[in-house]
Structures are given as C-alpha cells and as structure tokens.
Amino acid sequence: MAPLLLARSNSGDASDILPVSTIVFIVGLSLAGLLIVIALLWIALRFFRHKSQAKREEERGVAFLNVRGVIREMNEPGPVHHILR
C-alpha cells in the first residue's frame, strides 16, 4: 500500500510544479512588458514636455513683441520736431 501512496503524491506534485523553462518564460515576458511600458511612458512624457515648452516660449515671445511704428526708437532717423513733442 505504501507504493500506491507515494505514486499518488508524486503524480499530484508533478502537475502542480511548473518547469523551470516555463517560469523563465513568464518572468522574461513580464520584464519585457515592463520595459515597454516604461519606454512608452518616457516617450509620452518627453513629447508633452517639449510641446508645453514650445508653447511657453511662443507665449513669452508674444509678450516681448516689438511692433514697428507704435514707439519710435531712438536710433531711427527722423525729423527733430517729432522727438520734441
């Protein structure tokens, strides 16, 4: 009767334990998936940061926009009586 018990316990344990190659395969796929997710997040973050930086620079450039003709600059040649007014 003892060999029957040993055979049952061995056959039950063998089906519960995954082979090493399957474990390595699962861990490898998990690491690859994690690296892909991290790379996609990094690319998305970089894209949105560059986009927002360009938008800020454009708004800052508009704030210091020089419109010719509104204010006469001192080095422009012109009649003297316009400067004295």
Q: Annotate 47-84 with b (16+ C-beta within 10 A) or e (fewer).
A: eeeeeeeeeeeeeeeeeeeeeeeeeeeeeeeeeeeeee
Q: Which tokens sit at 12?
A: 């039950």
Per-residue model confidence (pLDDT) at position 44: 97
Using an 8 Å Cβ cutoff, are 57 and 49 in contact?
A: no
Residues of the chain with pLDDT under 50: 1, 6
Using an 8 Å Cβ cutoff, are 78 and 72 in contact?
A: yes
Write down the pTM of the prediction: 0.48
Per-residue model confidence (pLDDT) at position 49: 95
